[in-house]
Structure 1
Amino acid sequence: MITSVIKAILIGAIIGALAFFAPFVILGFLVISLIMKLSFRHRFRHGHFRMHHLAYAEKIRSMSEEEFSGYKKQFHTHGCGTSR
Structure 2
Amino acid sequence: MARSIDQQIAETQAKLARLKQRQKASETRRKIIVGSVVISNALKEPEKARALAALLRRAVTREVDQKELVGLIEDLDQAAANAAPREDRS
TM-score by length of 2: 0.42
Q: In proportion to residue count, which structure has more helix?
A: 2
State the structure with more CA Rg. Answer: 1
TM-score by length of 1: 0.44
Structure with more contact order per residue of length (Cα contacts < 8 Å, sep ≥ 6): 2
